[in-house]
Amino acid sequence: MSILNILRYPDSRLHKIAKPVTVFDARIKTLVADMAETMYDAPGVGLAASQVDVHEQVIVIDTSETHSELRAYINPELIWVSPEMQVYEEGCLSVPGIYDGVERHAKVTVRAYDADGTQFELEAEGLLAVCIQHEMDHLKGKVFVEYLSPLKRNRIKTKMLKEERELNRHNKVAQR
């Protein structure tokens, strides 16, 4: 297993639309394992393959305190969403340090495949429902900051670009 590089907003690769997985093989199992290790290391509760520059419909989520409930969602689709909405304070591993309220469905039912290619359905509410919707957005090329006002989004974009420049400058100095 290895830690993968997480793309940072506003990287244009975060807006690529992921393709469905058609072959469930060792490569997919390795991808899921690497994504899980990357998510736990970050640390986070969810990660989409799009965030690690693999544009396939693969998500890993573990909302447990003990990191004991890891589940892969491959080719996920929402088959039911509640009419009730909720605002949840969201963050994102691709937008580190930024949190804001996003309105999403309070409950969802998702149909997906696990890493072995076995289909399952899962009803979710609370944090898990939010995570599923958030990560599925990544597969559609959407980052949570796109739900925010243009003013907030531009401030976040400016902040992220500034941090990237400072990091690159620091790395160049360290390489000398």
Spatial separation of the C-alpha atoms in residues 52 and 50, rounded to whole Å: 5
Binding residues for Fe cation: 92, 134, 138
Length of the chain: 176
Q: In the predicted model, what is the mean pLDDT of residues 47-53?
A: 98
Catalytic site residue from 84, 123, 135, 166: 135
pTM of the model: 0.94
83-134 confidence digits (pLDDT tens): 999 999 999 999 999 999 999 999 999 999 999 999 999 999 999 999 999 9
pLDDT band at 176 (very low <50, low <70, confident <90, very high): low
Spatial separation of the C-alpha atoms in residues 26 and 106, rounded to whole Å: 35
Q: Which residue has the tokens 């996003």?
A: 102
Q: Which of 93, 69, 64, 70 is nearest to 4 (CA)?
A: 93
| CATH number of the domain located at residue range(s) 12-175 in this protein | 3.90.45.10
Binding residues: 92, 134, 138
Answer yes or no: 125 catalytic: no
Spatial separation of the C-alpha atoms in residues 13 and 129, rounded to whole Å: 25
Q: Strand, helix or coil at 164?
A: helix
